[in-house]
Structure 1
C-alpha cells in the first residue's frame, strides 16, 4: 500500500528516488507547470527546452525521464504531461492533476519514494494529486510469487508519495488528503475484488469480506444465505444461483449517522462469475466474466468509504451475489420465477441474469423507503456498444436526479452519459405466461434493461441506474490513474452523491 504525506521540504534537499513535475502543452511548445521552479532554476530557466529536446510535448499522460541536476539529492526527474496549458488566470483541472499523478505513480512502480511537485493552487488540488497518485500506484500481485521482473527490477507499487507544496498544518489540506486516502483505499479494495479469480471469490467469500470490513468500520451487516432467501421469497437471486454449487447471498450493509437527515440506498449487481447459464456465452466472452460483480464491489466500497469519512447521511448497501452457471439444476429459458416483490418473470434468456438479482434487491431496498436508490451494474453489452469502454450510462425515473448524478460523475472524473427510458420499449417485455419477461426488443437493449429494473422500484421513490458494463473492466493498456483489469468504476460517483446529500446539496 502506497503511503502519502504532505511536505514543506524544498525539492533539492529531499531524499527520494525521483521528483515528479508537470509539463503542459503550450502554444509554442512544452511549458513547465508551477511547482517545478527550483528545477527550472537549476537548468538556468531552460528546462522546457531540455524537455522538448527529449521529445516531450506536455500531452496528457506523457512521461519523460531525465537526470536530476547537480545539487538535488533525488537522482531522477519525471516530467508528466498535464495536457493543454490553462487559459490566463485559470488553474489546472482536478482531473488533469489526477491523470498526471496517476501516470507518474505508475511509471515509478517499484520505487521506494517519489516527491510530487505538481501545481497545487489549493487544498482541492492536493486532494486531486493524492487521489491520482494513490490510484495510479495500484497493482494486483496477489497471485504472483516472483518479487522481481525479468530485468531484476522490484515489482509492486510506488512505496511513498510526498506532496511538495502541501500544507500539513492546514486543516483543509489535511482533510483533502485524508479523504483521498480513505476513498482510494476502498476503491482499490473494489479493484482487488474485481480482479480476484472466481474460484476464490464466490458469493459466500464476497459476503465474508463484507462482514470483516463492516465489523472494522462500525457498519451493521446482515447476510441472507440460501435458507433465508428461500424463506423470504427472493426468487430472482435464487433462480440465478440455482445452477451453481456455490449458493447465492444477499448482503445488507447499513451505515448510519446520528445527525443524518437523508437515507440513500445503493444496490449492486454481484455475479461473481457469469457463464450465461443455460444460455451459454459464446467462446471469447467468458474470460473476463469474473468482473460481473463490479457493481456490488462499487457499492461495498462506497458504503465503507462513507463510514470512514463520517458522512452525515444514512447509506444502505445491498449486494446481490450469485454465480450464474449451467447445470441440471439451473434455471432454463421458459421458466417463470416469482420475484421478491411478488411479480412473476418469464426467463427468456438466462444470460440476462443481472436484472433478476437486482430486481429482488431493489424491492428489498424500496421497503425501507429511502430518499433515493441508485443501482450499479455491469448490465448490458448494448451499453458498451452505445457508449464505448470508458463511459457509463445513467437512467432514472427523475430527470433532475439523473442530471445530478451525471454532474457528480463529471466532477469526480468518471465519464457518464444520460440515457432515456422510452415508454414504448416496455411492451416488448410483455409475456403470455408471466407479469413480464426478462427480455424485450433487441435494439436499445441497455434501455430495455433499465425499464425492467424500474418495475421493481417502490412507488414514489427516486431511483437511478448506472450501467457500468463498459468502464468496469479495462482490457486494454493502463492510462492515467486507471489500471488494466478492474477499475472501481462508480465508487467515486456514489461517494460524491453521499457527500452532496450529507451537505444538503442534492435535492
Structure 2
C-alpha cells in the first residue's frame, strides 16, 4: 500500500472552506431549470450564493460528467473550486457520490491536494467519496518509456474528505483505504502486459504481496498433475509458460463462517487452436481479472480484519497454440475424476474454473463465489457496465446482487434454465464443456454448476450454496473514462466480494 502513485486519503470533520488545499470540489444538481449546490455542502450562504450565480452565468447544466472550474470564490481557502454534477438514476446514493468524486478528481489530475464536499454525511458516505476520488485519480504509467515519461501527468496527490465526525475518522479511513487499494491492485494486475504477467509471475506477485495474515500455496504443473487438475493443465499445455494454482487462506481467530472464492486467471487468451480474430485478442490480457479480484478481495478482507474465514483458489493458465495445445475432441479428466470433452478451445475459462470449484467444494465451505471474465454472451445480455450473477441458491444470488449494487459493482441476476443441462451431454465423456450457442452465459454457468459439491457424503447431502459472477463486461473499459472508472482495467467485482464477506462476518 506504499505505491507512490496512490492518492492519500484523509477524512476530517473540518469545514471545507477553511481547509488549505489546491482545490475544493463541490456538487450541484439541476432542479426546475436552476442549478443549485447539493444540500449539506458545508459552505456559508455567501459562498454558496456566489458559486450558484457563477454557474448560472456560465450556463452550467450539472450533468453527470460535467466539471465546472471557478476561481476567486470568497470564503474558500483553495484557489480553485470545481463543481461537479451529481448523477441521478437507479444507483445507490453512495455510488452516485463515488462517481461525482471520480469526475472531480479526474478534473484535478496533477494537483497536490483537493478537498471534497459533495454533501456526504457519516462514515459510509465519506468513505464512498474517498474511494471515488482515489479511484478517479488512478493512473497506470508503469510502462511509459522515454517517449512519454516527461509528459506523464500524475493523479491527485491527496483527497481530503469532509462530513465525518472525529470519532469516526479512523474506521472510515481504514475502510476507504483497504477497498481502494484492493481495486487499484486489480487494475494494476489487469493492465500489466501479458509478456510481464503470466502464470508463474502472477503467482509470485500475489504471494510476495500478501501479508502474514494470509497463508499462500502454489501448485506448479507437476503438482497439478499429481492432484488431477486436468482442466487447468489442459488449457495451459499449449503455452511455454506452465499453469499454476494459487491457494490463499485467511483464517482469523473466532471466525465461524467459511467463504470460498474461485478466480479465473487466464493471463492471455489467444483462443487456443480455435483462434480468436486478431482484433478480439487485443484486450485478452484482462482475462485474468477474476483471479485478480479474488486475490485483492482477500487482501482487503484481511486488512479490515473481518472475522470470516476465506479460502481463494486462483486458477492461472495461458491459452496458447503451441505444439501441445489442446484440441477440439480431446477428453480431459478434471479434479475429482469427471471427464469432459473439449469442443471449443476458446471456452477455456470454465475448464480452469471447474478444477477450482472442485477444490473449493472439498473444503465444504458455507458458500462458494467464483469470479470470471467468462462470456461475451454476458456482455450481449447486460452491457459493458453490469456483471451477471447466477448460481444454485436463490437466497445467495439475491444477497450477492443486492450487496454488489450497494457497494457500487452494478449487478443483475441471470437465469439458468433447466433445459440447458441436456445440451452438455455427449456420448464420448461425462459431459462436454459447451452447449447450444444461445444463452451462452447461462450455458457456461450450467457447466460450472456440475463441479459444485455437497456438504457431506451421499446424494442426500445439501449442495453447497454457490454464486457465479460473470464480470466480462465491466472488468475492462475500452471506451472513455467515466465517473471513477478509467480507460482500461476497472477492478469490478472487488467491492462485491468484500461486501459479501462483511455480511457473512456479521
TM-score band, normalised by shorter chain: over 0.9
Aligned equivalents of 1:124 and 1:496: distance in 2?
13
- C-alpha deviation, 1:165, in angstroms: 3.5
Specify the SS of the correspondent of 2:279: coil
Unaligned 5+ segments in structure 1 are 87-91
Distance, in Å, in 2 between the alignment partners of 1:220 and 1:42 is 53
Of 6, 13, 21, 1:16 maps to 21
Deviation at 1:179, TM superposition (A): 0.4
Pick one of 57, 65, 71 that aligns with 1:67: 71
| Alpha-carbon shift at residue 40 of structure 1 (Å) | 5.1
**Aligned partners of 2:419 and 2:118: how far apart in 1?**
51
1:58/1:84 contact within 8 Å kept: no
Which residue of the partner structure matches residue 186 of structure 1?
Answer: 182
1:493-504 matches, within 5 Å, as 493-503=496-506
For residues 243-267 of structure 1, what are the alpha-carbon distances to aligned partners after superposition, in whole Å with 9 as ceiling and x for unaligned? 0000000000000111111000010
Distance (whole Å) between structure 1 residues aligned to residue 243 and residue 89 of structure 2: 51
d(CA) in 1 for partners of 2:154, 2:289: 23
Q: Which whole-Å deviations, capped at 9, do the CAs of 1:367-417 have from their partners, x for residues lacking one?
A: 000001000100011111111101111111011111111101111111111
Whole-angstrom distance in 2 between the partners of 1:84 and 1:393: 23
Match of 1:52 in 2: 56
What is the CA–CA distance in structure 1 between the aligned matches of 2:121 and 2:89, rounded to whole Å?
Answer: 15
1:207 aligns with 2:210: no
Shift of the 240–462 alpha-carbon distance from structure 1 to 2, 3 Å rule, reads same
* Residue 352 (structure 1) aligns with: 347
1:159 equivalent in structure 2: 157
Unaligned stretches of 5+ in structure 2? Answer: 1-5, 455-462
SS at match of 2:54: helix
Residue 243 of structure 1 aligns with which residue? 238
Kept after mapping to 2: 8 A contact 1:217/1:308: no
Matches within 5 A, 1:84-103: 84=88, 93-103=93-103
Which runs of structure 2 are paired with 1:129-140 in the superposition (5 Å)? 129-140=129-140
Aligned to 1:297: 292
Deviations 1:320-374 (A, max 9, x none): 0000000211011111001112011010100000000000010001000000100
Any residues of structure 2 matched to 1:486-497 within 5 Å, and which? Answer: 486-497=489-500
Displacement of 1:461 after TM fit?
0.6
Alignment size in residue pairs: 493
1:482 aligns with 2:485: yes
Instruction: Give the TM-score normalised by structure 1.
Output: 0.94
Please, which of 223, 239, 243 is the counterpart of residue 218 of structure 2?
Answer: 223
Instruction: Report the more deviating stretch, 99-108 or 59-68.
Output: 59-68
Q: Does 1:406 align with 2:401?
A: yes
Task: Tell me what 2:3 maps to.
Answer: none
| Residues 1:144 and 2:144 are matched in the alignment | yes
User: Residues 271-282 of structure 1: matches in 2 within 5 Å?
Assistant: 271-282=266-277
The whole-number CA distance in structure 2 between the counterparts of 1:6 and 1:30 is 28
Q: Separation in 1 of the partners of 2:487 and 2:104?
A: 16
Map of 1:329-478 to 2, 5 A cutoff? 329-459=324-454, 460-478=463-481
Cα distance in 2, alignment partners of residues 147 and 106 from structure 1: 23
1:177–1:28 Cα change, 3 Å: same
Question: Contact 2:361–2:453 at 8 Å: present in 1 too?
Answer: yes
The answer on whether the counterparts of 1:2 and 1:161 sit within 8 Å (CA) in structure 2 is: yes
Q: Distance in 2 between matches of 1:435 and 1:266?
A: 25
Stretch of structure 1 that moved more, 55-64 or 481-490? 55-64
Distance in 1, matches of 2:359 and 2:18, equals: 58
Q: Kindly indicate whether the alpha-carbon contact (under 8 Å) linking 2:42 and 2:119 is maintained by their aligned counterparts in 1.
A: no
Whether the 8 Å CA contact 2:42–2:117 is kept in 1: the answer is: no
1:97-135 CA deviation, whole Å, 9 max, x = no partner?
Answer: 111111111111111111112212212111111111111
Aligned to 2:80: 76
2:65–2:103 Cα contact (<8 Å) kept? yes
d(CA) in 1 for partners of 2:502 and 2:51?
41
- 1:30 alignment counterpart: 35
CA distance in 2, matches of 1:283, 1:4: 41
Q: Deviations for 1:211-235, whole angstroms, at most 9, x for unmatched residues?
A: 1123x24200010001100111110
Aligned-residue offset at 1:37? 4.8
Closer, same or farther in 2 for the Cα pair 1:411/1:71, shift >3 Å? closer
Stretch of structure 1 that moved more, 25-34 or 453-462: 25-34
CA contact (8 A) 1:474 1:486 kept: yes
From the superposition, tell whether residues 85 and 371 of structure 1 become closer, same or farther in structure 2 (CA, over 3 Å). Answer: closer
SS in 2 for 1:319: strand
TM-score, scaled relative to structure 2: 0.94
Provide the alpha-carbon RMSD of the alignment. Answer: 1.9
- Structure 1 distance, partners of 2:367, 2:232, is 22
**2:491 is paired with a residue of what secondary structure?**
coil
In structure 1, how many angstroms separate the alpha carbons of the residues matched to 2:398 and 2:163? 36
Contact 1:109 1:137 in 2 (8 A): yes
Contact map agreement 2:239 2:320 (CA 8 A) in 1: yes
What residue in structure 2 maps to residue 121 of structure 1?
121
Cα deviation, 1:63-91, whole Å, max 9, x if unaligned, reads: 111113246432111001113599xxxxx
